[in-house]
C-alpha cells in the first residue's frame, strides 16, 4: 500500500507539531521517521494511524483520501512504545483479540483463530508462551507479542512508535535485526519512529529526518549519512566535528588550513561552519609539507579495531574537543601517547556558509 501525505499541519496550542509535511511512503518499504524529541515524528505517525487528527492536509492510502476515515476502517497495525498489551488476557488472547472483536459475519471460527494465532506466535518465535500473562514476559518478548497482535488483523500498513525505545541496548540490537528480517519476509509497508540514528541507519530502507515539525531530509541511509542536506542532519546523524572558518572566492580557511571550495566561488568573506566525520580526520606526528592543524591528545580510547582520539586544537577553530578515529595499525605506527603534539588534516569536509545570519547557528 502507498501512503501519501499532503500539506499536513498540526498545532498543539502555540506549539507547531507538524508544519506542512509532504511525504510518500512506497509500497513494501520500511521507512524510518527520525528526529529529536519534539520534532513531530510521533505526531505524524499518529495522524497516519488516525489516532490524531491534523488541522489541515490529507492522508491518502492507495490514492484514496483517508483523512476522515475511522481508525477501525484503516487496516493499520500499530505497535506502541510501551507495548500496551492487555494485562488481564493471556498472550494467546492478546493476539486473538483483533480477530475476536470482528463483526460476527467476518469473524473466523474457533479453529481458524487458533490456527492463525499459533502461526503468528511461531512467527515471533514465542509460541511456548501462549498461556502466560504479559507481566510474566520480558520487555523484548512483550514487544514481539505486541507485533504479533498488530499483524493478526492482516494490516496493509504497519506503524511502530519507538518500538525498541523501552528496551535495553542488547535486546534492542537483536530486535532490530529481527524486525529487518521479518520485514524482508513479509514486505508490508511499514513506518517506524525512532530518535536513535543508529537504529534508523541500520534498519530502514529510507529515512525521513525531522526537526521542529518539518522534514529536513528524505533519503536512503547512505544518502543522509554521506550527503546531509544541512547542518541539522549532519549533527544529528553520527558523530561529527565542527569547525568555524571563513569562505572567500572559492577557498575556505579553518585556522591555518586552506581548502578548495569551488562551489563557493561567488562567496565574499563569509563565516562558515565545516563538518568532518571522525573517521575522515588524518593524524600525523609531523607536518609533511601540506597544511594541517596542530593539536594535542587529551584522551585515547583504544578498545577494538578503531582507536578513538580526543584532541584539543591549538586555536579555537573548533569549539569543542576534536574526535578522530584511526585504525589500530596506524595507532601503533605513530606510537601515540596522551599529551603528544600531533597534526590533523581533514580528508573530506562539508562546508555550510552562513549566508544571512552570521554565526547564528552556534
Partner 1 sequence: MSTFKQYSVLPGFNLALGFTLLYLSLVVLIPLSAAFIHSAKLTWPEFWSTVTAPRVVASYRLTFGASFAAAVVNTFFGLLVAWVLVRYPFPGKRLVDALIDLPFALPTSVAGITLTAIYAGNGWLGQYLEPLGIKVAFTPVGVFVALTFIGLPFVVRTVQPVLEDIEKELEEAAAMLGATRWQTFRYVIFPAVLPALTTGFALAFARAIGEYGSVIFIAGNIPMVSEITPLLIITKLEQYDYAGATAIAVVMLVISFILLLIINLLQWWVRHRSIKA
Contact characters 35-64, partner 1, x per CB under 8 A: --------------x-x-------------
Contact between 91 and 132 (Cβ < 8 Å): yes
152 vs 247, beta carbon nearer partner 1: 152
Among 34, 40, 44, 98, binds partner 1 (CB under 8 A): 98
- Does 112 sit near partner 1 (CB under 8 A)? no
* Sites for partner 1 among residues 258-317 (CB under 8 A): none
Query: What CA–CA distance (Å, rounded) separates 232 from 255?
Result: 23
- Using DSSP, state whether 53 is helix, strand or coil: coil
- Does 82 sit near partner 1 (CB under 8 A)? yes
- Does 135 sit near partner 1 (CB under 8 A)? yes
Among 37, 88, 335, 360, binds partner 1 (CB under 8 A): 88
147 vs 242, beta carbon nearer partner 1: 147
Angle at which helix 139-152 crosses helix 110-123, to 10 degrees, equals 140
Select from 11-19, 93-101, 189-197, 295-303 the region that touches partner 1 (CB under 8 A).
93-101
105 vs 362, beta carbon nearer partner 1: 105
Residue with cell 499459533: 118
25 vs 96, beta carbon nearer partner 1: 96
Q: Counting Cβ atoms within 10 Å, is residue 153 exposed (0-12), middle (13-18) or buried (19+)? A: middle
Q: How many residues bind partner 1 (CB under 8 A)?
A: 26
Question: Residue 135 CB, nearest distance to partner 1 (Å)?
Answer: 4
Handedness of CA 109, 110, 113, 115 (dihedral sign): negative
Question: Residue 9 CB, nearest distance to partner 1 (Å)?
Answer: 22
- The number of C-alpha atoms within 13 Å of 130 and in the hemisphere containing its C-beta is 14
Report strand pairing: 270-276 vs 350-353. Answer: antiparallel
- Going by C-beta distance under 8 Å and a sequence separation of 6 or more, which residues neighbour residue 142? 83, 85, 134
Helices and strands (H and E) in the chain: how many: 9, 20
Query: What CA–CA distance (Å, rounded) separates 210 from 165?
Result: 18
Question: Residue 121 CB, nearest distance to partner 1 (Å)?
Answer: 16
Residue ranges for the binding site for ATP?
35-42
Residues at the site binding partner 1, with contacts judged by CB under 8 A: 49, 51, 71-72, 76-78, 80, 82, 84-89, 97-98, 101-102, 133-135, 149-150, 152-153
Amino acid at each position: 500500500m502507498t501512503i501519501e501525505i499532503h500539506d499536513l499541519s498540526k498545532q498543539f496550542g502555540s506549539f507547531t507539531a507538524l508544519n506542512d509535511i509532504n511525504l510518500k511512503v512506497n509500497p513494501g518499504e520500511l521507512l524510518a521517521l527520525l528526529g529529536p524529541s519534539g520534532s513531530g515524528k510521533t505526531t505524524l505517525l499518529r495522524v497516519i494511524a488516525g489516532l490524531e487528527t491534523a488541522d489541515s492536509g490529507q492522508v491518502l492510502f492507495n490514492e484514496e483520501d483517508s483523512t476522515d476515515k475511522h481508525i477501525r476502517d484503516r487496516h493499520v497495525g500499530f505497535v506502541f512504545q510501551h507495548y500496551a498489551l492487555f494485562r488481564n488476557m493471556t498472550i494467546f488472547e492478546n493476539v486473538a483479540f483483533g480477530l475476536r472483536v470482528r463483526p460476527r459475519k467476518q469473524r473466523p471460527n474457533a479453529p481458524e483463530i487458533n490456527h492463525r494465532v499459533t502461526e503468528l506466535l511461531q512467527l515471533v518465535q514465542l509460541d511456548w508462551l501462549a498461556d502466560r500473562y504479559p507481566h510474566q514476559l520480558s520487555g523484548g518478548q512483550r514487544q514481539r507479542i505486541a507485533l504479533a497482535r498488530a499483524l493478526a488483523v492482516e494490516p496493509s500498513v504497519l506503524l511502530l512508535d519507538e518500538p525498541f525505545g523501552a528496551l535495553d541496548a542488547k535486546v534492542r540490537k537483536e530486535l532490530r535485526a529481527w524486525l529487518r528480517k521479518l520485514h524482508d519476509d513479509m514486505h508490508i509497508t511499514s513506518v517506524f519512529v525512532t530518535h536513535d540514528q543508529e537504529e534508523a541507519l541500520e534498519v530502514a530502507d529510507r529515512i525521513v529526518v525531522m526537526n521542529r515539525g518539518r522534514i529536513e531530509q528524505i533519503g536512503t541511509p547512505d544518502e543522509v549519512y554521506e550527503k546531509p542536506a544541512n547542518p541539522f542532519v549532519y549533527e544529528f546523524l553520527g558523530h561529527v566535528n565542527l569547525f568555524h572558518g571563513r569562505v572567500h572566492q572559492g577557498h575556505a580557511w579553518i585556522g591555518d588550513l586552506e581548502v578548495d571550495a569551488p562551489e563557493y566561488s561567488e562567496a565574499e568573506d563569509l563565516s562558515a561552519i565545516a563538518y568532518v566525520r571522525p573517521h575522515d580526520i588524518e593524524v600525523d606526528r609531523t607536518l609533511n609539507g601540506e597544511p594541517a592543524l596542530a593539536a594535542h591528545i587529551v584522551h585515547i580510547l583504544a578498545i577494538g579495531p578503531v582507536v578513538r582520539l580526543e584532541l584539543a586544537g591549538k586555536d579555537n577553530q573548533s569549539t569543542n574537543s576534536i574526535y578522530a578515529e584511526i585504525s589500530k595499525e596506524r595507532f601503533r605506527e605513530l606510537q601515540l601517547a596522551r599529551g603528544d603534539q600531533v597534526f590533523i588534516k581533514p580528508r573530506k569536509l562539508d562546508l555550510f556558509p552562513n549566508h544571512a545570519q552570521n554565526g547564528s547557528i552556534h
